[in-house]
A and B are shown apart, each in its own frame.
Chain A
Amino acid sequence: QKEVEQNSGPLSVPEGAIASLNCTYSDRGSQSFFWYRQYSGKSPELIMSIYSNGDKEDGRFTAQLNKASQYVSLLIRDSQPSDSATYLCAVNYLTSGTYKYIFGTGTRLKVLA
């Protein structure tokens, strides 16, 4: 069974701080990793994708991947109240000649004004 694990939170950070969200996955062969943001009652919205070990930055967001440790993280700099949402880690698994995305349960982030 392929698993993606996240701490459900809530993770509370003050406005302007760095929020750090973590995710581990079970399949060492996974190659593609994604962070989605989901506001309550809405659909997942893609924030970042990362495919190689190391850091990938996009604006206030930095994704970090360590395949040896089977660990992917998302840093949000200068957190804003509008960043308050559930952040979903998704891993793309190869199965039966195609891929499917497996999601973690999500980490609820609260940015306090």
Chain B
Amino acid sequence: EPEVTQTPSHQVTQMGQEVILRCVPISNHLYFYWYRQILGQKVEFLVSFYNNEISEKSEIFDDQFSVERPDGSNFTLKIRSTKLEDSAMYFCASDRILNTEAFFGQGTRLTVV
């Protein structure tokens, strides 16, 4: 069964460093998302992406965040200068048709020290 895959599963980084989280969405999906979940809190929307551009972003998704689809398969989230409060699980999701089910990757646990 097709699935969304994310790498790495766990990333530890020092405060101020740049990190890139990678995702391979399901191959025939067109809409891509990043969400994050701080430990013990709700899943929060960060950004949606369609047709090689950002469709919507939340107030969390400030200038230190960026997304890219560098080729036909990968979808990346870059955090330019990490802060302690960026420590969270980051989930990538995709769906095939707008307004239908989104399927989530297994997540990347980001720890900023």
Q: Which of B10-46 contact A (CB under 8 A)?
A: 31, 33, 35, 41-45
> In the bound complex, how far is the Cα of B8 from the Cα of A76, in angstroms?
34
B interface residue numbers (CB < 8 A to A): 31, 33, 35, 41-45, 48, 50, 55-56, 89, 91, 93, 98-107
The yes or no answer to A62 lying at the interface (CB within 8 A) is no
Q: What 9 new A-B contacts, CB under 8 Å, besides A43-B91, A96-B56, A103-B42?
A: A34-B102, A43-B104, A44-B43, A46-B101, A49-B100, A88-B42, A92-B99, A100-B48, A103-B45
- The answer to whether B43 and A103 touch across the interface, beta carbons within 8 angstroms, is yes
* A-chain residues with CB within 8 Å of residue B50 when the two chains form the complex: 98
B99 to chain A, nearest CB (A): 5
Q: A46-B101, A49-B100 are known contacts. Are A100 and B91 too (CB-CB below 8 A)?
A: no
Q: Is the contact region of chain B dominated by helix, strand, or loop, or is it mixed?
A: strand
Q: Is the contact region of chain A dominated by helix, strand, or loop, or is it mixed?
A: strand
Closest to B109 in A: A41
* A-chain residues with CB within 8 Å of residue B101 when the two chains form the complex: 34, 46, 49
> In the bound complex, how far is the Cα of B53 from the Cα of A57, in angstroms?
37
- The answer to whether B55 and A97 touch across the interface, beta carbons within 8 angstroms, is yes
Q: List 6 A-B pairs, minimum CB-CB distance, nearest first.
A: A98-B55, A103-B43, A43-B104, A105-B42, A43-B107, A49-B101
- The answer to whether A98 and B100 touch across the interface, beta carbons within 8 angstroms, is no
A interface residue numbers (CB < 8 A to B): 31-32, 34, 36, 42-46, 49, 88, 90, 92, 94-106
> In the bound complex, how far is the Cα of B49 from the Cα of A98, in angstroms?
9
> In the bound complex, how far is the Cα of B50 from the Cα of A34, in angstroms?
21
- The answer to whether A32 and B48 touch across the interface, beta carbons within 8 angstroms, is no
> In the bound complex, how far is the Cα of B42 from the Cα of A103, in angstroms?
7
* A-chain residues with CB within 8 Å of residue B93 when the two chains form the complex: 101
Closest to B47 in A: A100
